[in-house]
């Protein structure tokens, strides 16, 4: 079994979510030991929210969950690549398919990922 070394970076490791079929990088967040265990237990990705200081089930509010297909770990045991199936079409809380929706190319910035949903409609309080 693989296991991240949570001690190296004060309990958190970077976790890169990548579409298992296309290879598209969708987002980067952090996992702690609790989110790691919950991800393994449920088969859906859980992260640690640094801003809220709490466990975060990706898509728990929006329905845009991430189903784990496989998990890769780097040679230092301190970074993860999560090969996932993105349910609902969007990984970004701003409504885009990918959090990496802006691109600088030839001196110009453009949007390079489709807009999937309006956050004002999805995250109503």
Q: Is the pLDDT of residue 1 over 90?
A: no
Mean per-residue pLDDT for 3-20? Answer: 96
Q: Which residues are annotated as a binding site?
A: 74-76, 78, 92, 99
Mean per-residue pLDDT for 85-113? Answer: 97
Q: Is the pLDDT of residue 125 over 70?
A: no
User: Do the Cβ atoms of 71 and 80 come closer than 8 Å?
Assistant: yes
**What is this structure's pTM?**
0.93
Q: Which residues are annotated as a binding site for Mg(2+)?
A: 74, 76, 78
User: Which residues make beta-bridge pairs with 71?
Assistant: 82
Q: Which residues are annotated as a binding site for Zn(2+)?
A: 75, 92, 99
The per-residue pLDDT of the chain, averaged, comes to: 96
Q: How far apart are CA 9 and CA 64, in angstroms?
A: 28
Instruction: Tell me the CATH architecture of domain 7-116.
Output: Roll (3.10)
Residue spans of the domains in the chain: they are: 7-116
User: Do the Cβ atoms of 119 and 64 come closer than 8 Å?
Assistant: no
Mean per-residue pLDDT for 47-71? Answer: 96
> By percentage, how much of the chain surpasses pLDDT 70?
99
Q: How far apart are CA 115 and CA 90, in angstroms?
A: 8
């Amino acid at each position: 079994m693989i296991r991240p070394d949570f001690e190296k970076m004060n309990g958190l490791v970077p976790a890169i979510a990548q579409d298992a079929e296309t290879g598209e990088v969708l987002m980067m967040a952090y996992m702690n030991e609790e989110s790691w265990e919950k991800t393994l237990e449920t088969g859906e990705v859980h992260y640690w929210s640094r801003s809220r200081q709490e466990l975060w089930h990706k898509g728990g509010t929006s329905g845009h969950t991430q189903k784990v297909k496989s998990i890769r770990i780097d040679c230092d045991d301190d970074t993860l690549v999560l090969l996932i199936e993105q349910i609902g079409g969007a990984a970004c809380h701003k409504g885009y398919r990918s959090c990496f929706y802006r691109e600088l190319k030839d001196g110009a910035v453009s949007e390079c990922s489709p807009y999937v949903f309006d956050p004002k409609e999805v995250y109503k309080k």
